[in-house]
């Protein structure tokens, strides 16, 4: 039976954990940008930071895929899907515009929200594959390691992910390999709903902390859009006072 109007607190809490990690990561990035981290950090080169970024994005996309499994199981139709999709796509446009003002040479043309908007459509179309999503996801994750071409190095084409060099941009989450990660989340969500539903619906561990994370995890788009302007605004004010 469809699970209409049911929330899975464990999935929300996992998404909330990703949000906390993301905000902490961006706070460190902003401190470095203002020159307050000593020694200065290389966020695009140091494995300490690049590994964290990979894990944060992976966790968000796994949760997004699992969330699509829950939505489909609950009977979400295309009209409601498109309303939610429009919010994500609209915020992606705002991110591009804001980054162009702040970082004109490295503005975000295809970041995490752009990627999620495209991946959600692909995931919904591919959801009927069910068990076939696991090998398909593996293929998509591996493909950029096997195929690269200069054609995909421009801003108009680098969203595919088959680039020969990483673009100069503040955020870059292309379709490949990241769609594969989201499909793994979708496949995992479908399997858990069918065979181990208690993993999603069971009580939260560490209830006090878990409830706070679950509440936070229900507002990922709002937090994503607000946290950097608030952090940068606060640090700018502190710098001005100093």
Rounded to 5 degrees, what are φ and ψ at 166?
-70, 135
pLDDT higher than threshold 80 for residue 63? yes
- Interval 179-191: pLDDT, tens: 999 999 999 999 9
pLDDT higher than threshold 90 for residue 7? no
- Interval 189-223: pLDDT, tens: 999 999 999 999 989 988 899 999 999 999 999 99
Tokens of 186: 């979708």
Q: 213 near 11, Cβ under 8 Å? A: no
Boundaries of every domain in the chain? 9-237
Cα separation of 185 and 41, whole Å? 32
Cα separation of 62 and 71, whole Å? 14
Average pLDDT of the chain to the nearest whole number: 94
pLDDT higher than threshold 50 for residue 67? yes
Q: Which residues contact 11 (CB under 8 A, 6 or more apart)?
A: 63, 66, 67, 70, 189, 200, 217
User: For the whole prediction, is pTM greater than 0.75?
Assistant: yes
pLDDT higher than threshold 50 for residue 3? no
DSSP 8-state class, residue 205: S
Residues paired with residue 172 on neighbouring β-strands, in sequence order: 110
Q: 176 near 162, Cβ under 8 Å? A: yes
Q: What is the DSSP string of 96-163?
A: HHHHHHH-TTS--SB-HHHHHHHHHHHHHHHGGGGGGHHHHHHHHHHHHHH---GGGGSTTTTTS---
pLDDT value of position 1: 39
pLDDT value of position 241: 87
pLDDT value of position 242: 77
Question: What is the distance of C-alpha 120 from the center of its chain?
Answer: 11
- Interval 70-112: pLDDT, tens: 999 999 999 999 999 999 999 999 999 999 998 899 999 999 9
Residues paired with residue 110 on neighbouring β-strands, in sequence order: 172
pLDDT value of position 102: 85
Can you tell me the mean pLDDT for 146-150? 96
pLDDT higher than threshold 70 for residue 171? yes
Q: 193 near 70, Cβ under 8 Å? A: yes
Q: Which of 53, 56, 66 is nearest to 18 (CA)?
A: 56
- 38, burial (CB in 10 Å: exposed 0-12, middle 13-18, buried 19+): exposed
Can you tell me the mean pLDDT for 107-125? 97
Q: 123 near 101, Cβ under 8 Å? A: no
Residue 5 banded pLDDT, cuts 50, 70, 90: low
């Amino acid at each position: 039976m469809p699970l209409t109007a049911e929330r899975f607190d464990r999935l929300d809490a996992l998404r909330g954990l990703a949000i906390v990690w993301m905000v902490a990561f961006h706070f460190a990035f902003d401190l470095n940008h203002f020159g307050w981290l000593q020694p200065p950090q290389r966020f695009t080169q140091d494995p300490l930071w690049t590994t964290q970024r990979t894990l944060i994005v992976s966790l968000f996309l796994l949760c997004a895929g699992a969330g699509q499994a829950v939505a489909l199981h609950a009977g979400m139709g295309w009209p409601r899907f498109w309303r939610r999709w429009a919010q994500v796509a609209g915020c992606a446009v705002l991110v591009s515009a804001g980054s162009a003002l702040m970082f004109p040479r490295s503005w975000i043309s295809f970041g995490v929200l752009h990627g999620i908007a495209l991946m959600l459509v692909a995931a919904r179309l591919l959801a009927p594959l069910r068990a076939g999503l696991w090998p398909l996801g593996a293929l998509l994750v591996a493909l950029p390691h096997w195929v690269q071409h200069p054609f995909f190095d421009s801003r108009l084409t680098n969203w595919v992910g088959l680039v020969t060099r990483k673009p100069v941009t503040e955020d870059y989450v292309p379709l490949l390999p990241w769609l594969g990660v989201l499909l793994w989340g979708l496949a995992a969500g479908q399997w858990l709903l069918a065979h181990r539903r208690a993993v999603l619906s069971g009580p939260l561990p560490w209830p006090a902390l878990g409830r706070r994370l679950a509440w936070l995890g229900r507002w990922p788009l709002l937090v994503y859009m607000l946290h950097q302007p608030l952090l940068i605004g606060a640090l700018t004010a502190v710098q001005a006072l100093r």
